[in-house]
Structure 1
C-alpha cells in the first residue's frame, strides 16, 4: 500500500472526529474529493430538481472531473489536516 493511500485512509478516519463540523461548502469539497479519489470521474445521472442535496453533491463531484485519483487523495489529506 502506498504512503499516499495510507495517509488518505488516516485522513478519512480523522474526518469523522473533527472538533467542529465544517461549513456546507467544505463538506461538499470533502465529499467530492473522497468520491473522486475512490470512484474516479462522475458518471452518474444528475439528480432532479427536487433533490437539492443530491444535486449539490453531484455538482461538487462533477467539478473535479479529470482530476487524478492521487491528486484527489492528496487534496483530501491536505484539507482534512487543515481542519484538524
Structure 2
C-alpha cells in the first residue's frame, strides 16, 4: 500500500471519530472526494427530482469530474485533518 493510500485509509477511519458532525456542505464535499478517489469520475444516471439528497450527492461528485484519484485523496485527507483540528465545519 502506498503512502497516499495508507493516509487515505486513516482519514476514512478518522472521519468517523470527529468530535462533532460536520455541516451538510462539508459532508457533501467529503462524499464527493471519497467517491472521486475510490470510483473515479461520476457514472450512472442523475437521480430525479424526488431524490433530492441523491441529486446533491451526484452533482457534488460530478463537479470533480477529471480530478485524478490521488489528488482527490489528498484533498480528502486535508479536509479530514482540518475537521479534526476544528479549523472547518
Normalising by structure 1, we get a TM-score of 0.99
Deviation at 1:78, TM superposition (A): 0.2
Q: What does residue 72 of structure 1 align with? A: 72
| Distance (Å, rounded) in 2 between the aligned partners of 1:38 and 1:22 | 21
RMSD over aligned CA atoms reads 0.4
Q: What does residue 47 of structure 1 align with? A: 47
Runs of 4 or more above 4 Å deviation = none
Check if 1:26 corresponds to 2:26. yes
Q: What does residue 14 of structure 1 align with? A: 14
- Helix, strand or coil for the counterpart of 1:54? helix
Deviation at 1:6, TM superposition (A): 0.2
| Distance (Å, rounded) in 1 between the aligned partners of 2:20 and 2:44 | 31
Task: Give the total of aligned pairs.
Answer: 84
| Distance (Å, rounded) in 2 between the aligned partners of 1:9 and 1:23 | 22
> Unaligned 5+ residue runs, structure 1?
none
Deviation at 1:44, TM superposition (A): 1.4
